[in-house]
Amino acid sequence: MLSFHSVKDYQTLLLNGKATCADAVSFYIQNIKRNGHLNAFLEVFEEDAFTRAEFLDNKRNAGLPVGKLHGVIVGIKDVICYKGHIVSAGSRILENFTSVYNATVVEKLINEDAIIIGRQNCDEFAMGSSNENSAYGTVLNAADNSRVPGGSSGGSAVAVQADLCMVSLGSDTGGSVRQPADFCGVVGLKPSYGRVSRYGLIAYASSFDQVGIFANNIDDAALVLEVISGPDEYDSTVINSDLIPNNPSEREYKIGYFPVTFKHPSLDAEIATKQADFISHLQNSGMQVVSLDFNLLEYIVPAYYILTTAEASSNLSRYDGLKYGASCQEKELEEQVKHTRSTYFGKEVKRRIMLGTFVLSEGYYDAYVAQAQKVRKILCDQVAEVFNQVDTLIFPVSPGTAFKIGDKSNDPVEMFLADIYTVFANLAGIPGISIPLFKHSNGMPFGLQVMASHLNELTLLSVAEKLVETNKSFQ
């Protein structure tokens, strides 16, 4: 049985001859099969993984240089393209569609000797906060199978939570990495917009989408970020900037928080109390933690959903049954497109496409999209000002812990409001990380969210690590 605490520990075992990549693949394949009821994986690339493991073992044994992710077992969310493998975005409209190219993040994983073990279940086209919207069934939370894992990257979160892979790649448009990480008690990192290429990531809302990382600890997440970040000729939005500055600061970081976020009526009372006590503990421990004013909390969820559904309406117009994917054959072209989209898109995707089409329509664009863009601009200006005063912000991650399956599926507004603390980072394009710190009296995990200024992942990771360490004396 494999036993290690981090990717570096595992790689030490490999280099010392105490384990092999084949051993690791066998271990995780068995775990995936044993936990098939969780529905975290839609497909396991068993043959590919063993072939890859043999290649890497031979490479290492021959004394050849190895990559930064040598032998690391990685799962990828079913919205990330992997050449020669199915990518369905959790939807029937792309059922059995095979990717003809690698996403840039996949290419970078492979170049650094990672082993991709399978594709993971998710809400259809990454639209959802519970993973109940997948066309291939709900993912179950490994800590309590009656509860959701969060969404939309629920399968990716559960795969790390249940030890079905070492790390996972998900996508985060409005919290789809950080919220399920919080529900599952693992680390969830959303990089800055522009830090990681989106080439090969099936689009939901292009100005919000970002590939994110699930891991068991911050060091593993940082290592994967180092590998997948950087410029890409296929994505003009990627910024050519080093992940780690040459001279990282050794000073004490100043942490800010908005009291309104920790006192919001939607926040579970026990979570609010625990987080408030932790903030006091940080201050008593000598850390600089200051309160700041913020008056846009009630505007960010409406602005987010107006803008993302507008972008989704545009992005998903390509799924018409004419070029690729599922198709209903009709004599008339218009009827074929209408029948295909009505048949193969799920309920939540249809809802968001219709909402997006409505706000983009003549007579409504100025009233909705233009106003939402103004809110986004005001928010970005306020964020820039905030980070002139502090190095990081701390937020709750979600109003509550993982809820019961079916509890919110009939109330889309309540489901939308579950994103109240995470969409902030996507609107502003800044990095955020969810770190597991606490346990609720209901037995479920929850933690805190840390955010930093654009492209300042080094500070983000450093502060997150400090919070994890400080929490050891808090418990």
pLDDT in tens, 300-323: 999 999 999 999 999 999 999 998
Q: For position 241, what pLDDT does the model report? A: 79
Kindly name the residue from 91, 130, 168, 176 that is annotated as catalytic: 176
Q: Is 249 a catalytic residue?
A: no
Residue span of the structural domain in which 437 resides: 1-475
Q: Is the pLDDT of residue 119 over 70?
A: yes
pLDDT in tens, 55-95: 999 999 999 999 999 999 999 999 999 999 999 999 999 99
Q: Which of 28-37, 237-246, 300-309 has the lowest mean pLDDT?
A: 237-246
Q: Is the pLDDT of residue 49 over 60?
A: yes
The total number of structural domains in the chain stands at: 1
Report DSSP letters for 416-447, one per residue: HHTTTTTHHHHHHT--EEEEEEEE-TTS-EEE
Q: For position 415, what pLDDT does the model report? A: 87
Residue closest to 76 by CA, chosen among 170, 163, 153: 170
| Count of CA atoms in the C-beta half-sphere (13 A) of 197 | 22
Reported as a pLDDT band with limits 50, 70 and 90, residue 416 is confident
Mean pLDDT, residues 17-35: 98
Beta strand pairing call for 432-439 and 187-190: antiparallel
Kindly name the residue from 152, 153, 156, 171 that is annotated as catalytic: 152
Residue 119 sits in a domain whose CATH number is: 3.90.1300.10
Q: Is the pLDDT of residue 212 over 60?
A: yes
pLDDT in tens, 360-374: 999 999 999 999 999
One-letter identity of residue 193: Y
State percent of the chain over pLDDT 70: 98
DSSP state of 258: -
Q: Is 323 a catalytic residue?
A: no
Q: Is 176 a catalytic residue?
A: yes
202's tokens: 């099936």
Cα of first residue to Cα of last residue in the chain, in angstroms, is 31
Residue closest to 180 by CA, chosen among 77, 298, 306, 307: 77
d(CA 157, CA 188): 8
198's tokens: 């989106």
Q: Residues in the chain, how many? A: 475
d(CA 368, CA 181): 32
Q: Is the pLDDT of residue 244 over 80?
A: no
pLDDT in tens, 267-312: 999 999 999 999 999 999 999 999 999 999 999 999 999 999 999 9
Reported as a pLDDT band with limits 50, 70 and 90, residue 249 is low
Mean pLDDT, residues 181-210: 98
One-letter identity of residue 51: T
Kindly name the residue from 77, 190, 274, 466 that is annotated as catalytic: 77
Q: Is the pLDDT of residue 117 over 90?
A: yes
29's tokens: 């394949």
Q: For position 228, what pLDDT does the model report? A: 98
d(CA 25, CA 33): 12
d(CA 298, CA 266): 12
* Cβ-Cβ contacts under 8 Å for 136 (sequence gap 6 or more): 39, 42, 88, 90, 121
